[in-house]
Amino acid sequence: MNKSISATKKLNVEELNAIFTPLPFKERISKLYDYFSEKEILYTSSFGTKSVFLLHLISQIKASQKVHFINTTYHFQETIDYRNQIADQFNLEVLDVVPGQKENAMTREEKWWEDHPKMCCTINKIAPLEPIIAKHSVWISGLMAYQTGFRKRLRVFEQQGDIIKFHPIVDIEEGDFLYHMGLHELPRHPLESQGFGSIGCTHCTAKGEGRDGRWKGKQKTECGLHPNFFTKKEK
């Protein structure tokens, strides 16, 4: 199909869920390009402990799809090295999304991750991505329901402000996820073997099972990218 279906008909999330939910996750990704052109599709990856599974699928189905990586300047060096390794191995084009220099410097000088972690994430993760989101119609995300209570409530498609979120592997079971990781011998994040179940910025990541090590000791479980942060703006 040379022309995306979205060029003639825009479907809402209910219609999209009715079409996509019954499909296997690999077919969901492939079919997305029937409904949206590649330039309409945004794909972000944290290159964390669970990211490689979806990155591998994308490389098989649409290797030309650009991958946006939010480089907060606070990543572990192991994450940067892992990003480069995966990009080379899967032949993916990875684009860094960076925060404003002055704002980023302020969070560093005042150590906002200690007392203002929500604002630190807003400045270094959310704000830099917002203009990029505005240029796209649908956003591919690798969230999986078994990871957190918030993610357990997600469907394959969700409306998030002006953009549609696409969660092609949201309903995969953890056992199936691990089976596919082993089957395809996908490279693991180097810090995973050291006890890090989930990996983000250095200051807000500790060792722990699953996402237990993220923002440890704080009333925070998500950076703000995936909950309904991007609200519909007045025209």
Beta strand spans in the chain (E): 41-43, 67-70, 94-97, 138-140, 157-160, 163-166
Within-domain flag for 59: yes
Fill in the amino acid letter for 1: M
**204 is an active site residue:** no
pLDDT attached to residue 220 = 47
Give the Cα separation of 4 and 102 in Å (integer): 40
Within-domain flag for 184: yes
pLDDT tens digits for the chain (235 residues)? 445 554 445 789 999 999 999 999 999 999 999 999 999 999 999 998 889 999 999 999 999 999 999 999 999 999 999 999 999 999 999 999 999 999 999 999 999 888 888 898 899 999 999 999 999 999 999 888 776 666 678 899 999 888 999 999 999 888 998 999 999 999 999 998 888 877 888 888 877 665 555 555 555 444 445 555 434 343 3
Picking from 58, 68, 120, the residue whose alpha carbon sits closest to that of residue 94 is 68
Question: Which CATH number covers residue 190?
Answer: 3.40.50.620
pLDDT attached to residue 231 = 41
Within-domain flag for 49: yes
Within-domain flag for 224: no
Within-domain flag for 17: no
Order of strands, sheet of 41-43, starting from the edge strand that comes earlier in the sequence: 41-43, 138-140, 163-166, 157-160
Question: Which residue segment(s) compose the domain that 125 sits in?
Answer: 38-204
Within-domain flag for 223: no
Of the residues 121, 201, 204, 223, only one is catalytic, namely: 223
Within-domain flag for 220: no
Single pTM value for the model: 0.84
Within-domain flag for 211: no
51-61 helix and 174-183 helix, angle to the nearest 10 degrees:
60
* CB atoms inside a 10 Å sphere around CB 130: 12
pLDDT attached to residue 189 = 93
* Structural domains of the chain, count: 1
